A and B are shown apart, each in its own frame.
Chain A
Amino acid sequence: MENSEIIQIIRSGEKGRNEIIRQLYKDDKLRGGIRSVTYKMGAKEDDFNDIFNTTLMQFIKTAINKKELVISSHLHTYIIGVAKNTWINIAREKGKFYTNDLEDFNDPVEYITPEKILIDEGNRTLLHEVLDKLGVNCKEVLILWASHYKMAEIAEIMTYKSADMAKKKKYQCYKKLLQIIEDNPGLRDILRL
């Protein structure tokens, strides 16, 4: 599968996205590559799950948020590049030792600016429960809206008849979300707003 196809599937909605995540999660070669590079940079076995899961999240977020994204290298090379930077961020946050001496590595690693992770792992479950009330379609519309997709693009992805229809749907979903925010004042704290 071409990289452009993979990106398209990721953007197509939750179902396609989950399938790609599943494939990447079970990709032993990718795991091996990430392990190899990040271990050379000082990561330990205990760090691996954190690095791998965050890398997957970063990659999927980037595929959706960066509409101009074109991956010219092998997908593994690109994701390993994401993993490298993810490890640096994790190590900095947790005060762990890391090295970033690129001369040590033969791997052609791209430098990828990682997406910012908004929610602590501990709060994700809580938010998941609260935001589940939105429903699948509303979540998808709001995700695309937050990722700066135009209404025409949202309409295409969500197979709505027109951009106006997408706008109407987004408006309904936005109102639903506002109600949830009203009902759950703690959400601001969780998002550190």
Chain B
Amino acid sequence: MIDFFEHIDDYMEGSLDPSLQLQFEAALKTDKSLAKAVENYDVAKKISEALLEIEIAQTIADLENESNKDATDTNEDTRKTPIKNNSKLLWLLLGICLLSFLAYLGFKKGQEEKSLNQFMATVFKAPIDPDATKSIDEVKMDDFQRAKYYYRLNRFKDSEALLKEIIQDNSNQDTIQLAYFWLGHALIQQQQLDAARSAWLKSGMEEVENCK
């Protein structure tokens, strides 16, 4: 038995042999499904052509979505990145500030040390005084001699106390200035720089006045 559905293409193209053509046309009159298949042939062919377009369009649409998703992800990353970057930048700035501050402190300390060194180099020369070197009977010493003597013995605190008493009790300006001179030395040996400087200023030491 002939399956006319298999010959639809040839029938539509007019390439059936004449006897089959006649049989096909006869079948069209009795077989409704065959008649419908012939009637819809152009539509079916057009849809079949369109299948390719649909498939390509779908592939391109998928690629576009993929591309858009990548772009969105990139944008999100980009949006996130500035925060990270800002955070990094903030830390960097804080780091720089901290380093600058430390450098400043170091510099300042260096300057202070330099300044102190200059100061020390300028004004601090342990005084040599016979009263400060001789070891005599302490009983016969006056207060000033004793203060210098204590200085020599590295009893700076005792020396300081005596010198302050001398300054307070004495009215002789030369003695007071000299006492301040020794007081400065006693104080600087105790690392009381400001007090030493102040004492030396009162003693009239020009080096101290010029040292800032």
Contacts and interface: CB of A to CB of B under 8 A. Distances in A.
Interface residues of B, number: 29
A147 B56 contact: no
A116 B76 CA distance: 40
Given A118-B53, A139-B51, A181-B40, A193 B60 contact: no
By size class, the interface of chain A is 35 or more
Contacts of B47: 127, 131, 142, 177, 180-181, 187, 191
Given A131-B54, A171-B5, A193 B63 contact: no
Interface SS of chain B = helix
Contact of B53 (A17, A57, A142, A193): A57
A180 B63 CA distance: 28
B74 interface: no
B161 interface: no
Interface string A119-133: 101001001100100
Contact of B51 (A143, A171, A181): A143
Nearest to B57: A124
Given A139-B55, A171-B5, A118 B46 contact: yes
A112 interface: no
A167 B7 CA distance: 10
Contacts of B50: 118-119, 127, 191
Q: What 3 pairs across the A-B complex have the smallest Cβ distances?
A: A146-B48, A142-B48, A146-B49
